Amino acid sequence: MSYITYNGKMVISGQKFLVKPTATGSLDLTWDNISNMPVGITDPTNVSQWNTLFNLPTLGTPFASAEVTGNKVSLKGGSGITLKTNLFISNLHIIKVEDNGNSVVKINDAAFRSCSQLTTASFPVCTETVGSVASQGYGPFASCNRLSTIYFPLLATAGPGTFYGCASLGSLSFPSLTTAGENIFGYCTGATSADLPLLTVIPKQAFQSCSKLSTVNFSIITTIKDLGFISCNGLKDPVFTVCTSVGFRGFSYSRNLGAASFPALTTIGQYCFDTTGLTSPSFPLLTAAPLQAFVSCTSLGSISCPELLTIANTCFYNCTSLNSISFPKVTTVNQSGFQQCSDLKSVSLPLATTLGPTAFAECATLTSVNVPVLTSIGDYTFNNCVDISTLSFPSVTTIGDGAFSSCSSLNTLSIPVCTNLGTSVDDDFVFWQIISNNFKSLTVPSALMTCNLGSPDGDIQYAQANNASLVITQV
């Protein structure tokens, strides 16, 4: 069993906090000058004025006395107090609030919002803060940009925007927190660590733009909601052992994620890892990769998703370091799925039946494609794949316009069961700009050689006219 000391008292035993109201303690408010009292306080020793300001007894047991020591006001005797909405909102003179009397149990909307001089907030028995979903900037401590020391050992429920914009907070430690609202720590740009051992759900925008956050303890997190860690550039190689779901833009623009680990992840939202620093992640249970999930992950060298079934539009677009892909269960790669993956050399999709338009367009170093059961190739699927020389599609029946356009190194192509080459038998875009005479071998069904009023399909005529050495084999 371990303990820590707070104001001379043992307050923690493991995860259990042994604190209770004390008759000798007080709610201490420290000001820059004792003359700078809030509206309604003309005499800081007048306890009746303080009780009126705090709306007591309506919101708790009233204070019994008020004492002044230098610039500090000590309010004694209160208990079970809820701090009212807007209590000290935009106060420019309060510096510290320390509940040494264990009297405050709840803090409402904007109680200390925009208190620009506030540096310390200590509430040992506070279990709940309340914020506004409509505007997270109205959380109890929102925009307290000098707040650097906080103590909330019993806080279990924190409302939206509770610490939004508290740019000077370094450590976010809440050992009892089980429920958190949207944007609770959004724009805490100075935060370097977060310890939330009892939290299971990271709410929307919880750590948005916490750019220095690098050390985290989220051992039982199961869900990360939309924009949960967007723009957390300090987050590197995080481990989310039991996390099963990450929402829209969950980690977008977090540029140092590295080898992040999500062994239980089954669902991700659109743009989830957009423009992040992922290098070699593993998603052993992921079944679908949605729209732009990994777009512009320019450090992504490899990725393991053995259960992945579908790859959505532009999912891996512009992943310029991706060298090879092997997805044993993927059946569909949608439009621009891997477009502009300029370092991609090898593709293995043994169960893929459909490659959408521009799926591998502008993959300039692609040389190996293994898609043995593929049946459909979309428009411009391999456009400008300038290094590819040999392609074989034994099961493909449909090929879209421009599918192999500008594949200037194409030497050998086999499409023995293709029945639909391009939009019509008259067009000539499938092999557009293959005019270097490297194209020497084309295998097609004999029907394509007579489908155009007894003449070859227009695309084949174009290939013949622009590649003098081309030999066509009919099957």
pLDDT at res. 132: 77
Question: From the CA atom positions of the chain, what is the Rg in Å?
Answer: 32
pLDDT band at 137 (very low <50, low <70, confident <90, very high): low
Q: Which amino acid is at 475?
A: V
Q: How many whole angstroms separate alpha carbon 357 and alpha carbon 334? A: 7
- Pure H helices in 38-100: 47-53
* Residue among 217, 38, 8 nearest 124 (CA): 8
Q: Mean pLDDT, to the nearest integer, of 296-322? A: 97
Calpha distance 122→150 (Å, rounded): 5
Amino acid 198: pLDDT: 96
**pLDDT > 50? residue 35:** yes
What's residue 138's pLDDT? 76
For range 7-12, the mean pLDDT: 38
Q: What is the pLDDT of residues 252-302, one digit of tens each?
A: 999 999 999 999 999 999 999 999 999 999 999 999 999 999 999 999 999
pLDDT at residue 469 in the model: 94
Strands 65-69 and 72-76: antiparallel
> Which tokens go with 169?
């907070």
pLDDT of 309 > 60? The answer is yes
Over residues 226-261, the pLDDT tens digits come to: 999 999 999 999 999 999 999 999 999 999 999 999
The pLDDT of 12-31, averaged and rounded, is 60
Measure the CA angle with vertex 276, ends 275 and 282; round to 5°.
125
Q: What percent of the chain has pLDDT over 90?
A: 91
Query: How deeply is 459 buried, as exposed, middle or buried, from its count of CB atoms within 10 A (0-12, 13-18, 19+)?
Result: buried
Going through 328-392 in order, the beta strands assigned E by DSSP cover: 332-333, 346-348, 354-355, 368-370, 376-377, 390-392
Residue 13: pLDDT band (50, 70, 90) is very low
Show the 3-state SS of 247-286.
CCCCCCCCCCCECCECCCCCEECCCCCCCCCECCCECCCC
Q: Over 50: is that where the pLDDT of 1 sits?
A: no
First to last CA, the chain: 79
**Percent residues over pLDDT 70 in the chain:** 94
The DSSP letter of residue 24 is S
pTM for the whole thing?
0.91
Query: For residue 112, what pLDDT band results from cuts at 50, 70 and 90?
Result: very high
**Mean pLDDT taken over the chain:** 93
Q: Looking at residue 134, what is its pLDDT?
A: 53
